[in-house]
Amino acid sequence: MKNSGKRSIPPTVMVIFGASGDLTARKLVPALFNLSLDHLLPENFFLIGYGRKHVSDDDFRSGLKKSLSAYSRRPVNKDIWDKLEPGVSFHTGAYDDPSSFEELKLKIEKIEEMVGGPIQCMFYLSTPPSGFLPILENLGNSGLARLHKNTPSASKVIIEKPFGRDLNSARELNQMINRRFSESQVFRIDHYLGKETVQSLLVQRFANSIFEPVWNRNYVSSVQITVSEDLGVGSRAGYYDRSGAMRDMIQNHVMQLLALTTMEPPSSLDPEAIRDEKVKALQAIKPLKLNDPHAEVVRGVYTEGLVGGEKAIGYQNENGVSSTSYTETYAGLCLQLDNWRWKGVPFYIRSGKRLARKVSEIVVQFTRPPAILFGHDSRQPLSPNLLTIRIQPNEGVGLSLNSKTPGLETKLQPVNLSFGYETTFGSNTPEAYERLILDALAGDGTLFIRGDEAENSWGLLTPVLDYWQSMGNHGLEEYAAGSWGPLAADKLLLQRGHEWITNK
């Protein structure tokens, strides 16, 4: 996590495959524009959109300018856009057409001639997974993947999730990538890791002496990670019905939050040192109990209910969902890490659609002190200390403490110490894609998922998915839209002496 403003980035051409999609319009181009506003892009920066449908350069530029007006977090600055626009072009071609990649290579070579030196190629795969193989193979066959290899201008590739559907497909994807690129050239992007609060998690842990000494089994009772959404599947029903909560959220976003929460202190802020510790944390997770009286996994699907006071239909009635679907819209797990720091501490994670609120947070519950001076009767209830790291919305950190209420009697009440990013630093903080694209341009892989990280995460969850597949609808709990999930998820914690913590 180096100082972004002081890093040297070579002249760059960024090629976006699937450039006509929503991700380019809503996230990628606004991110590039805002980086340019902050003078963080290299002086010589070129953007090539790649797509199968013919689009003229002028139409592509015009469309991008409109998307900036709609989606940029800051107003369009004419001087900045006038500087970027001449370097924007569109290349029409199929992903499986070798001749089109040879033409792309010629276009890049002409840019190098104009710049007068080597140029870094950044290939962004903003396509469905079916496009990965032909694009990667043609980048390799054309020589674009090896351009300036082992130099600061070496080619790089950014790949959007999903990184496979299970362990076998994740391995196949990694093998496919590694045939053409070395791991140092590969940036598997998860936008959650670009959020300010997630980046700050390492700072909270390792830059504050009040936390690190108690960040272990001796002082932590349990940890909860929640990534909930109040919306249903909407227009994504076709994709979601093939994925479910486990693949869509838990395998990537939630497991990354878990790894950052549980990892050991790295030897340095070198990207590989950090990612090594994340992998060790994932490897320490014990296999989940499935067909067991003390099963550690719950799945559910939302039915009709009220969300925000408005009626919401059930998942089975969503347009595009199969009537025989047994896809889970909620998944809750109890994980145990078999290592020295976390032995015996349960990690409860949950994610779902149509829940009571949209929230992403990590809650660390500390052990209670002995009920000797306080907490030994109902007049002095002793609440556990909670450290809450809020990722969205209202990014920030909260610490719950016990305090005496005013009055002549000694009565205890939990109080919250809270810090919010918006109130402290202002609301116009960089978007996640700004940070991640900048890091990739600079070759910093800290906030990206390494191939073995993806495989270790899939290695834990694939047996669960296989078990659910074999069970069909059996064990698929129902929960009303607008609630916090199925009753079985509450029982998952209650039988272990805990309950879900839902902050207001």
Residues 436 and 430: their CA atoms lie apart, in Å, by 10
Report whether CATH 3.40.50.720 matches the domain 193-494: no
Give 335-372 pLDDT, tens digit per residue: 999 999 999 999 999 999 999 999 999 999 999 887 65
Contact between 35 and 437 (Cβ < 8 Å): yes
What is the Cβ-side half-sphere exposure of residue 73, based on CA atoms within 13 angstroms?
A: 16
Residues 418 and 398: their CA atoms lie apart, in Å, by 4
pLDDT band of 4, cuts 50, 70, 90: very low
The two counts, helices (H) then strands (E), for the chain are 16, 17
Residues 189 and 225: their CA atoms lie apart, in Å, by 20
Residues 489 and 499: their CA atoms lie apart, in Å, by 9
pLDDT band of 401, cuts 50, 70, 90: confident
How confident is the model at residue 50, as a pLDDT?
97
Point out the residues that are catalytic.
253
Residue 426, pLDDT > 80, answer: no
* Cα 348 to Cα 23, 378, 389, 402, 457, distances in angstroms: 31, 28, 15, 24, 16
Give 62-113 pLDDT, tens digit per residue: 999 999 999 999 999 999 999 999 999 999 999 999 999 999 999 999 999 9
How confident is the model at residue 373, as a pLDDT?
65
Contact between 245 and 422 (Cβ < 8 Å): no
Q: What are phi and psi of 311, to 5 degrees?
A: -70, 135
Q: What letter represents residue 325's amino acid?
A: S
Tell me which DSSP letter residue 97 carries: -
Which residue, among 309, 305, 313, 257, has the nearest Cα to 457 in the 3D structure?
Answer: 257
Pairing of strands 220-228, 346-352: parallel
Which residue, among 87, 91, 68, has the nearest Cα to 16 in the 3D structure?
Answer: 91
Which residues have CB under 8 Å from 203's CB, separation 6+?
A: none
Domain boundaries for CATH 3.30.360.10 within the chain: 193-494
Q: What are phi and psi of 18, to 5 degrees?
A: 85, 35
Which residue, among 229, 366, 358, 367, has the nearest Cα to 302 in the 3D structure?
Answer: 229
How confident is the model at residue 372, as a pLDDT?
59
* Cα 402 to Cα 208, 373, 415, distances in angstroms: 21, 13, 6
Give 159-205 pLDDT, tens digit per residue: 998 899 999 999 999 999 999 999 999 999 988 888 877 878 888 88
pTM for the model stands at: 0.91
Architecture of domain 4-160: 3-Layer(aba) Sandwich (3.40)
Residues 36 and 119: their CA atoms lie apart, in Å, by 18
Domain boundaries for CATH 3.40.50.720 within the chain: 4-160
Residues 197 and 165: their CA atoms lie apart, in Å, by 28
Length of the chain: 504
**In the predicted model, what is the mean pLDDT of residues 478-498?**
96
pLDDT band of 377, cuts 50, 70, 90: low
Give 132-156 pLDDT, tens digit per residue: 999 999 999 999 999 988 888 999 9
Question: Cβ–Cβ contacts within 10 Å for residue 202, how many?
Answer: 17
Phi/psi region, residue 134 (left: phi>0; alpha: psi -120 to 50; beta: rest), is alpha
How confident is the model at residue 201, as a pLDDT?
87
Give 462-475 pLDDT, tens digit per residue: 999 999 999 999 99
Give 116-131 pLDDT, tens digit per residue: 999 999 999 999 888 9
Pairing of strands 330-336, 297-303: antiparallel
The 3-state DSSP class for residue 348 equals strand
Tell me which DSSP letter residue 497 carries: T
Tokens of 381: 């209830």
pLDDT band of 294, cuts 50, 70, 90: confident
Give me the chain's average pLDDT, please: 91
What is the Cβ-side half-sphere exposure of residue 102, based on CA atoms within 13 angstroms?
A: 4
% of the chain exceeding 90 in pLDDT: 74
Give 441-459 pLDDT, tens digit per residue: 999 999 999 999 999 999 9
Residues 77 and 294: their CA atoms lie apart, in Å, by 59
Handedness of CA 463, 465, 467, 469 (dihedral sign): negative
Which residue, among 218, 222, 217, 220, has the nearest Cα to 496 in the 3D structure?
Answer: 222
Residue 417, pLDDT > 60, answer: yes
Residues 495 and 133: their CA atoms lie apart, in Å, by 46
